[in-house]
Chains A and B, each alone.
Chain A
Amino acid sequence: MTGFSRRELLSGAAALVLGEKLVAAEVIGGKLPFPAGSAPLPGAVNPAGWRFFTPAEVASIEAIVDRIIPPDPQTPGGKEAGCATFIDRQLAGGYGHRQGLYILGPFQDGNKQQGPQSEQDPAQQYRAALAAIDQHSRSHDTAAKTGRAFAELNSEEQDAILKGIEEGSVELEGLDGKKFFENLITDVQQGFFADPLYGGNRNMCAWKMIGFPGARYDYRDWVSRHNEPYPHPPVSIQGRPEWNPKS
């Protein structure tokens, strides 16, 4: 009965359990703590469904992201790339309610270089903006008897409204339209280029568009190969299709 084992004792002066106790104060001494088993994993988005946007908002935001990044024969547009899904999950998560940011008052407007001072968080801003955009679309619709929602307009009409918001000629009720539009473009483009695990950049389409190899980590063989195309396909944090055996 000599089949005994060395038990796994967590290292550290005290049992340093990371993971759920990640923010508990600890004393460290004697040994380097070993946190690998409880490293903070990235949260992959399940792309099905919507967590934040209502069905009406889904229609609007999908139309919007397809104008910010329109589809073309080579590369999907924002909608097919999953940018709306990306924004949906971000707004449903920490980004939406400004997790980690300083949100104590008093709230006052400052100058441009003092940065965002709005009392509204992104979740509230998107709700208000999408409602206001639809409201504007319906009330200014000259082409149909009943005012069409933004998603029902054609591309040119949609672009016109978006340009108007960008320039300030179209005012959105309840928020600063120009500022919102700046944030919107940023969010859409981030969703387009971020790792697919966040819901956008489906099938790494954006990375394929520009030739970015993704989550790779070793280019030593290529540093000195100047002006040569890099031949390997992009890989995301979740891998690429070649990671699974195909018989």
Chain B
Amino acid sequence: MRSACVSLKCATCAAVLVALAWSSPAPAADEQDFAQIEYGRYLVAAADCAACHTDPAHAGAFAGGRPIQTPFGVVAASNITPDKETGIGSWTDAEFEAAVCEGKRRDGSHLYPAMPYPYYRKMTHADVLAIRAYLQTVPPVHNQVESNRLPFPFSIRAAVGLWNAMYFSDEPWKPDPGRPAEWNRGAYLVQGPGHCAACHTPKTILGGDHRDRAYQGYSLQGWFAPDITDDKALGLGQWSQSDIVAYLKGGHNRIAAASGPMAEVVADGSSHLQESDLRAIATYLKSGQSRSEVTRPLATDNPAMKAGAAIYEDVCSACHQLDGTGVPYLIPDLAGASSVSSREPTSIIRVLLHGTQSVATPTEPTGASMPAFGPQLTDVQIAAVATFIRNSWGHAAGPVAESDVHKARKDSQG
């Protein structure tokens, strides 16, 4: 449970601090500096620390213990409340910064990159200290966390040193002088505290980023974090800047609704950001180039397409409309959403099997849900309707295999 602080009202305050963060020399983390603490709280939302460090079922805010599933096993996030014994209350600012930005624990050993330090490395010294200052004000919670629950040989932290050699860049973030301030602010937020690439960039087998395919989407544990480049077919090319802002602010826009893991990001993170920061993020994301070639959709008389069309017409159209356009801000626009024809059909299979609940935010409180069709439809039928949706209304994505659905269904029953 978040500490019951006053809600963020300091728009001007934070704006001033943004200016400060860019220009002035780094102040020490000052527990008494209200402005710094407020800005730290803002950044904690942007960096979404709570996603890993707060376990709502136990302990308290930022008290750790929340198990994080990695492809290599389970790691538990640490206690970052100011508790002196089990938290980071007795750490120095330098030790805190080393942990956040270099992945170094207090005793010098490595943090596992489940802690996204390669991205937080991009944060400025002042921002890190602001986060530190805020974290010093949350209620201390006594909660001893055993972080390393990985099986051998992953339990050997020293091995992370090798990983860092491949995937960790010690270079701090530098603004691009050829770009406007808004673009640079967006780049900073996305590459640094936002650590969007952690989910949205394809990974190598060792879990490092494929840097040449930044933000082109990645499958993790039953969801496909979509392509968020500016690609017209596969990414956000059809979204305007205000579509992106509305999505991050409220969780909904005229095309899509945030659900699954992104629902949490919106609820705990981006919905707390100021409009100017969200516009900056949008500006940065939309500054790429469309790269995909137009591929041909499956023919309408393809057997899976015909079956999928029948299912769609009989069942899906009740909410998503016969032309796939949904209801703006309530029911996603399948026709207009590039994530429908994403490189991998993980998300669409998942949503069909299990349903999902879209995020509810103060500006968009409805929180509409999609029901689960897994119990009603067979694997063949789900593959058919997914195929139909991914090859209609301008989409072109090839067939969805029954075996993919079968595997997803089996995996989720574990």
Which residues of A approach B to under 8 Å, CB–CB? 1-7, 9, 11, 15, 31-32, 34, 36-37, 39, 41, 215-218, 221, 232, 235, 237-240, 242-247
Contact = CB atoms under 8 A, between A and B. Distances in A.
Contacts of B306: 242, 245-246
Interface stretch (B34-42, B271-279, B368-376, B389-397): B368-376
Contacts of B317: 217-218
Contact of B356 (A1, A36, A240): A36
Contacts of A11: 357
A11 B264 CA distance: 11
B238 interface: no
Contacts of B247: none
B314 interface: yes
A7 B203 contact: no
Contacts of B260: 6
B206 A6 contact: no
A1 B367 contact: no
A41 B260 CA distance: 23
A2 B67 CA distance: 14
A208 to B, nearest CB: 16
Contacts of A246: 303, 306-307
The secondary structure that dominates the A interface is loop
Contacts of B375: 41
Interface stretch (B69-77, B80-88, B130-138, B171-179): B69-77
Contacts, number: 122
A231 to B, nearest CB: 12
A218 B208 contact: no
22 contacts: A1-B112, A1-B154, A1-B207, A3-B71, A4-B69, A4-B70, A6-B221, A6-B264, A7-B69, A15-B57, A31-B367, A34-B357, A36-B355, A36-B371, A41-B376, A217-B317, A218-B322, A237-B376, A244-B307, A244-B380, A245-B304, A246-B303
B322 A221 contact: yes
> Which 4 A-B residue pairings sit nearest by Cβ, starting from the closest?
A6-B261, A5-B221, A36-B355, A217-B318
Contacts of B318: 217-218
A21 B303 CA distance: 41
Contacts of A5: 68-69, 220-223, 261
A138 to B, nearest CB: 47
A243 B71 contact: no
Contact of A39 (B56, B57, B371): B371
A5 B73 CA distance: 11
Contacts of B311: 239, 243
B372 A39 contact: yes
A212 to B, nearest CB: 14
B250 interface: no
Contacts of A2: 70, 113-114, 116, 118, 198, 203, 207-209
A1 B307 contact: no
A15 B68 CA distance: 19
A4 B298 CA distance: 34
B100 interface: no
B72 A1 contact: yes
A35 to B, nearest CB: 8
Give the interface size bracket for B toward A: 35 or more
B360 A3 contact: no
Contacts of B75: 4
B335 to A, nearest CB: 16
A244 B383 CA distance: 10
B250 to A, nearest CB: 16
Nearest to B378: A244
B381 interface: yes
Contacts of B70: 1-4
Interface string B26-59: 0000000000000000000000000110001100
A238 to B, nearest CB: 8
A48 B310 CA distance: 28
Interface in B328-380: 354-357, 360, 367, 369-372, 375-378, 380
Interface in B183-230: 198, 203, 206-209, 220-223
Contact of A32 (B203, B360, B372): B360
Contact of B360 (A31, A232, A237): A31
A13 B317 CA distance: 33
A172 to B, nearest CB: 42
A243 B307 contact: yes
Contacts of B112: 1
A1 B314 contact: no
A243 B383 CA distance: 11
Given A2-B209, A31-B360, A239-B311, 6 more contacts: A1-B206, A9-B56, A37-B355, A37-B372, A244-B381, A246-B307
Nearest to A221: B322
B315 interface: yes
B163 interface: yes
B384 interface: yes
A6 B51 contact: yes
Nearest to B384: A245
B71 A240 contact: no
Contacts of B355: 36-37
